[in-house]
Structure formats: C-alpha cells, structure tokens
Structure 1
Amino acid sequence: MTRRAWWLVGLNILVPGSAQMLAGNRKLGRFGVGATFTLWAVIVLGVVLYFVWPTGVYTIATTSITLWVVAAVLLFYAVLWVILTLDTLRLTRIVKTLPSARAAIAGLATVAMVLFAGGAGYAAYLATTAGSFVGDVFSAAPPEPPVDGRYNIMLLGADAGPDREGLRPDSITVVSIDAATGEATMIGLPRNLEYVPFAPGPLADKYPNGYGADDGCEVDVCYLNSVYTEVELMSPDMYPNAIADGSQPGIEAMRDAVSGVTGLTIQYYVLIEMQGFIDLVDSLGGVDVTVENAVPIHTDETFTEVSEWIGPGVVHLDGWHALWYARSRHDTTDYDRMERQHQLQEAILEQSNPANVLSKFQAVAAAGARLVETDIPQSTLGLFVELATKTKELPITRIELTPAMDVDPEYPDYDYIHQLVADATVVATPEE
C-alpha cells in the first residue's frame, strides 16, 4: 500500500488525471489527462510559434481579451489540480500505508498542489492585472502604418501645478524607431523653441509664418510647450474629433507642432504625468543614475533655498528624488534638465528587467495606468514589444535640438533642424 501510494502521487504530479484512470473514477481521470495533454499541446504550440512568428505571440499576449481568457483558463487548471490532488490523496488510502511514510506522502502531494495550483492562480492574477492595465491605457483604434520605414512616437512629460493654468508639457521627445531593425533615435525638443511651424492643419492656417511670428499668440509666451495650453484652454474647437479619437485637442496641437519642427509624421503619442512618475519609479524599487554635478532640491517656489543635494556620483533615487532630479531648476538650464530627463528615461528602460517588473507587477501596472495616456492601439503592442527586444540590444542615437547642435531656440533654422533629423533617421538599406 505504501508503494502504491507513492506511485499514485508521482503519477498525479507527472500526468494529472492518470492516478484516477488507474485506481479511481476513470471519467474524472480521462478528463484530467485530456486537460493535461491539451495544456502541453498549447505550450508546445506557443513555443513553436514564438520561434516561427514571434509578433503573433506578442500580439496574443498583449491583448486585454486574450489576457482575461488566459486568466480564466489558468484558474480552471488551478481548481482542477486541487481536485485531482485531493482525490489522489483519497485514493492512496494513506491510513493503510506505513506510519513512517504518511507525512512524506501527504507532504509531497501538498507541495505539488501548492506549486501547480498556486502558480496557476498567481499567473491568473498577473494576467487579470495586465488585462486591466492594457484595457485602461491602450486604445482600440486601428494601427497606423510606418512612414518611410519608421514609427515616430511623441513623448510628453507633463506637469500641472498651482503656479500654472492647466497642464503644460515640460519634456518633449520624439522616439523614432526603425520598423524592421528596432534601431531607435531619440530627438529632444526644447520647450522654449519659438516661431514653431506646424504640419498642415488648423494651427498652420492660423500661424502660417510660425507660432506667434506675426501678431503673437493667445498665451503669455509663444513657446513650443505653450501650444498645448493655448489649444486646450482657448481653442479646443480647432480639433473637434480629438476626444472621440482617444486624444485631446492640446495633444493634437502638440502633434502638429512637433511634426512641423522635426519634419516627421507622428503616428502616436504618450503623455507621461510627472506626478505619476514618482509611483512608477517607486514600484520598480528606485533607479540608479550617475550624477556628474550635484543637483539641488528646493524648499520654496522661487528655487533659491536648497534643502538637500543629489549627488555627485552614483546615486539610487526613489520616485520623489528622481522627479526632483528631472525637474530641478536651480543654477541650471533647460538643456541640462533635458539631459537629466533623457538620462532617467534610459536608466529606467535599462533597469526595468523582467525580474523586478514581475515581482512588483501589480504596483508597476497601477502606476503605469495613472502615469500614461496614449493613443497606441492594443493591436500594435505585440509589434512594439518585439521591436523593443531589438532596440534594447542596439545603441540609441540621441539628438538634442539645443545650442550644442547649433540650434538657437530664439531664432531656430527649421530647415537645418529638418536636415539634422532626416540624417539621423535614415532607414538603412540592406547591402547588395
């Protein structure tokens, strides 16, 4: 009876349902074995597809409906493994086994049940969390095709505060990604660019010679980042379909402005709320950066009193300190801030490995839902995940449209800027 018990428990671990087929309810056993073989077949098929058609696997794994289906299936298997294990323990007739073996037999069966059923339950929990995140953040709109072989995404780091009316983008970046290789170019745009040209549309009609070039604009200063505020607060009717399309009038105005500055077609945007940025960094356990020159944290709104300094040297930053590192204005320039912001972006990308994201997945997903607003559709997530795996293996080209690259924000030469961007985003052609 002891050997029989060990065999039944072992079979239940190797092929759930087989113990019932040998010594119990064969109908339940056939159902358990069939479910087990089905799961194995799905796993093998998934592995094969991953190597043959990875984009399809990524797409399936990043669709909210699919994630909820996966969660339901995993919960089914968790319950099935609990039922089969408890029934297997009944079949062992453990009271008829050797007293010295009873605890080990029951312990092995229990540990296996906790590992299998508990693992499936936890995976279902992750799938539901991911499904909620994908559904809350990403749109159901149809995907946009690449333009000239590239996807161009506008990243806006926005901040709303008591010292300003509405929300104003303080960090403006375009990430241009080669649709075939994943090679990425990051283009940093100073928020104080003047006389901004616009892509064809309502703002180009209103400001044909550049933003504020003729008779000024409707806000205090006619900078690039003022475009959002003007349209969102003063002229939202310029973009009447923005909200229905999953965007905002101010966002669409910034899209036209950034496209006019860079000469690129902007397919998608990502708006990052800087206060939510704190939660994201904290959820990842902080971020490490190398600080060349100490950066102050201020105690007042005039940015003159300093409470503490960040750096110099390698510093581990929590969310609050990371936000200060990105925003500090004391004895610094907008171009220094741009450099620090891009440094943080790259550090977070490099340090967001699967281990720390999975271990804190709920917090990361919750922070992301509060942090990010975007019009990237769910149907393109698989493609972008695949491209991201390629991008991470390649050096990122960075262009800062600052005086260091002979760009004068007060009197910018936009033909020159267009050429800079074009040279940096040429899609490489295969060698003959």
Structure 2
Amino acid sequence: MTKRAWWLLGLNVLIPGSAQLLAGNRKLGRFGVVASFLFVLIVVISVLLSFAAPMVLLTIGSSTLGLWAIALILAFYAVLWLILTLNAWHLANLGRATPTGRTFVAAFSAIVLLAVAGTAGYGAYVATTANSFLSDVFIAAPTKEPIDGRYNILLLGGDAGADREGLRPDSITVASIDAETGEAVLIGLPRNMELAPFVAGSPLADKYPDGYGAYGCDVDVCLLNSIYTEVELNTPDLYPDAAANGSSPGIEAMRDAVEGITGLGIQYYALIDMQGFSDLIDSLGGVTINVAEPVPIHADAEFTIVAEWIPAGVQVMDGYHALWYARSRHDTTDYDRMGRQRQLQQAVIEQFTPANVLTKVQAIAAASSKVVKTDIPQGSLPYFVNLASKTRALPIGSLELVPANDIVPEFPDFEYIRELVAAATAPTLVDEGAE
C-alpha cells in the first residue's frame, strides 16, 4: 500500500489526473490529464513567443483582457490541481500505508501541491494587481504617432513632499527616443530658465508673446517651473480639456513651454513627485550609482546643515539616499544637481529590466499608482516596453541646456537652443545595410 501511494501521488505530480485514470474517477482523470497537457502547451507556446514574437506576449501582459485571462487561467489550474491532489490522497488510502511511508508520502505531495497550486494562485493574484496598477496609472486613449521618427516624452519631477506645500516641477527633462532603433537622448532644462516662449497657437502664447515673464507674470518669480504653478492656481480654464485627456492645466502649460523652447513636439508626459520617486526606488530594490564626489544630505530646510554624506564611489542607494543625491543643494549649483538627476534617470533606464519589474510588481504598484501621473495610453505599453529594451542596449545621450553649453538661463538664445536640440536628436546609428 505504501508503494501504491507513492505511485499514485507521484503520477499525480508528473501528470495531474493520471492517478484518477488508474484507480479512480476516469472522467475526472481524463479532464485533469487533458487540462494538464493544455497547460504545458500554453507554457511552450509562451516560451516560443518570447523569442519569436515578444510583442504578442507584451500586448497580452499589458492589456486588461490579457491580464484577466492570465489570472483566470492560473486560478482555474490552482483549484484543479488542489482537487486532483486531494482526490489522489483519497485513492492512495494512506491509512493503510506504513507509518513512515504515510508521513513521507503525505509530506511530499503536500509540498508539491503548495509549490504548484500555490504558485499558480499567487500568479493569479499578481496578474490582478498588475491590471489594477496599469489601469490606475495609464489612460485609455489612442496611440500617438512619432514626430519626425521620434517619441518625445516630458519627464517632470515635482517637489511635492511631506515638508512642502503644493508642487513645482524642479526636474524638467525631455526623453527623445528614436521610434525604430530606441536610440535616446535626455535633454535637461534648468528650472530657472527665463523668457520661455510658448509654442504657436497655445493659450499662453497670446498672453506672453515676448516670452514668459518678459513684462512680469502672475506669480512671485517668472521662471520656467513657475509656469506650472501659475496656470494650476490662477488660470486652469486656459486648458479645459486637460483632465479629460489624463493631464492637468499646469502640465499642459509646461508642455507648451518646453515645445517652444526645444522645437520638439511632445507626445506624452510623466510626472512623479519626490516622495514617489523615493518609494519607487525602494520598491525596485535600490539603484546603483557611481558617485563622482561626496554629496551632502541636509538636516535643515535651508539646505545649510549637513547630516551625513553620500561618499564617492559606486553606491547602491535606497530611495532616501537616491532622492537626496538628486536634490542636494549644499555647496553646489542647480546645474550640478541637474547632472545628478540625469545620471539617476539613466541608471533607472539601464538597471530596471522587465524581469526585475515583473518580480516586484506588487511593491511597484503600491509605490507608483498614487504618485505617478502620465498620459501614455495603456495600449501603447507593449510598444514602449519593447522600445525600452532597445534603448537599454545603446548609449544614452545627454544634452544639458546650461551655461556649460553656452546657454545663459536668464537670457537664453532659443534659436541656438533649438540648433543644439536638433543636433542631439539627429539619428547617429549607422544603417546595418549601408555597407
């Protein structure tokens, strides 16, 4: 009877349903065997698609219907394997096995059941969590086409946090990505840039025809990042459709200004506040940065007292230290800070792979769904995930619109800026067939 128990439960592990075919309800056994082979077939097809057509898997894994289908399939198999294993225990008649054999057989089958059915059940839970996260962060909208062969995404880092009121986009970057090759360049705009022109035809182009703040503005200071605050607080009616399009009046005003400054058409934006950035880094297990010079962490709101230092060298930073690395101002300039922010952005792009994200989807969902805003459509995610895989394999370019590049933020030469941007975003990859 002990051998019989080992055989039945062992077969149930190898081919769920086979125990019932040999010694029990054959109808249930046939159903279990067929379902098990179908599951193996699904796994094999998924593996083949991951090599031959990864966009198919990405589309399924980033759509509401696809994630619900995955969740239901995994939940179904978790329940089926539980039923088949419990029934196999009954068929094995463990009560007639030797005491030692009974213990080992039961423990073995229980461990396998926990590993197989438990993993399937957990996978179903992760799929529903991912679906909720994607629905909260990304919008339902048509996909926009590339402009001159590129996608230009406005990245805003807001300074909202526990110790601040309101939000100001202190980190302003355009990620310009070749729509075919994935070649990318990060264009950093200083928050203190003045006289920003607005793209022709935009609401603020009429209000500030000579540039933002040329003759004053509606807030205390007339800097680039003040545009967000002014429009959000004083004139949100200038952008009545912003909320319906997954944005806000302040973000749309910033988009118009950045388009006017760079000459690029901005298809999408992504905004994350400072605390959200810290939580996101923690959820992904930290970020590795090569620190060129020690960076101070401040102990006061005026950024004058140093609490500790981030030492030079390769550092694995948690969210707290990564945030301070990006925002530290003690004995440094805004332009130094911009360089560190760009370094962090590049590290995030290069180090956080889809596999890494997939294994930590619950933590990411908890950190991001309430602190990240974007108007990227959920339907575009498979394309952008695939494009990001190309970007990570290439050097990421950088252009800082700062004095080091002969740009004076107080009196910018916007024609010169647009020339620099055009040169930085010109394709540089050699066509493999050119030879």
Q: Identify the residue that residue 133 of structure 1 maps to in structure 2.
A: 133
Q: Identify the residue that residue 206 of structure 1 maps to in structure 2.
A: 207
* 1:336-363 alpha-carbon deviations (Å, 9 max, x no partner): 0101111222233334356654554322
- CA gap of 1:142–1:429, structure 2 versus 1, over 3 A, is farther
More off after superposition, 179-188 vs 29-38: 29-38
SS in 2 for 1:155: strand
More off after superposition, 177-186 vs 247-256: 177-186
Does the Cα contact within 8 Å between 1:326 and 1:341 map onto a contact in 2? yes
Following the alignment from structure 2 to structure 1, what is the Cα–Cα distance between the partners of residues 357 and 328? 28
Following the alignment from structure 1 to structure 2, what is the Cα–Cα distance between the partners of residues 152 and 10? 56
Does the Cα contact within 8 Å between 2:161 and 2:273 map onto a contact in 1? no
Q: Is 1:18 aligned to residue 21 of structure 2?
A: no
Q: Identify the residue that residue 64 of structure 2 maps to in structure 1.
A: 64
Following the alignment from structure 1 to structure 2, what is the Cα–Cα distance between the partners of residues 54 and 425? 27
More off after superposition, 70-79 vs 6-15: 6-15
- Mapping 1:84-163, distance limit 5 Å: 84-160=84-160
SS in 2 for 1:420: helix
SS in 2 for 1:244: helix
Which amino acid letter does the alignment assign opposite residue 122 of structure 2?
Answer: Y
More off after superposition, 351-360 vs 396-405: 351-360
Does the Cα contact within 8 Å between 1:297 and 1:308 map onto a contact in 2? yes
Q: Identify the residue that residue 226 of structure 1 maps to in structure 2.
A: 226
More off after superposition, 169-178 vs 190-199: 190-199
Following the alignment from structure 2 to structure 1, what is the Cα–Cα distance between the partners of residues 143 and 246? 13
- Mapping 1:21-420, distance limit 5 Å: 21-160=21-160, 166-200=166-200, 201-213=202-214, 215-353=215-353, 357-420=357-420
Q: CA deviation at 1:297?
A: 2.2
* 1:139-196 alpha-carbon deviations (Å, 9 max, x no partner): 0111111111111111000013698763110000111111111111111111111111
Does the Cα contact within 8 Å between 1:166 and 1:233 map onto a contact in 2? no
Following the alignment from structure 1 to structure 2, what is the Cα–Cα distance between the partners of residues 161 and 386? 33
Q: CA deviation at 1:252?
A: 0.6
* 1:348-404 alpha-carbon deviations (Å, 9 max, x no partner): 333435665455432222112133111111101111111111111111111111111
Following the alignment from structure 2 to structure 1, what is the Cα–Cα distance between the partners of residues 373 and 338? 21
The percent identity for this pair of structures is: 62
Following the alignment from structure 2 to structure 1, what is the Cα–Cα distance between the partners of residues 172 and 45? 42
Structure 1 unaligned blocks of 5 or more: none
Structure 2 unaligned blocks of 5 or more: none
Following the alignment from structure 2 to structure 1, what is the Cα–Cα distance between the partners of residues 161 and 26? 67
SS in 1 for 2:244: coil
* 1:70-94 alpha-carbon deviations (Å, 9 max, x no partner): 1122111111111101111211222
More off after superposition, 161-170 vs 29-38: 161-170
Does the Cα contact within 8 Å between 1:280 and 1:371 map onto a contact in 2? no
SS in 2 for 1:119: helix
Which amino acid letter does the alignment assign opposite residue 186 of structure 1?
Answer: L
Tell me the C-alpha RMSD between the 2 structures. 2.1
Does the Cα contact within 8 Å between 2:155 and 2:175 map onto a contact in 1? yes
* 1:215-253 alpha-carbon deviations (Å, 9 max, x no partner): 222122221111111111111111110011111000111
Following the alignment from structure 2 to structure 1, what is the Cα–Cα distance between the partners of residues 52 and 297? 51
SS in 1 for 2:394: coil
TM-score (norm. length: structure 2): 0.93
More off after superposition, 310-319 vs 409-418: 310-319
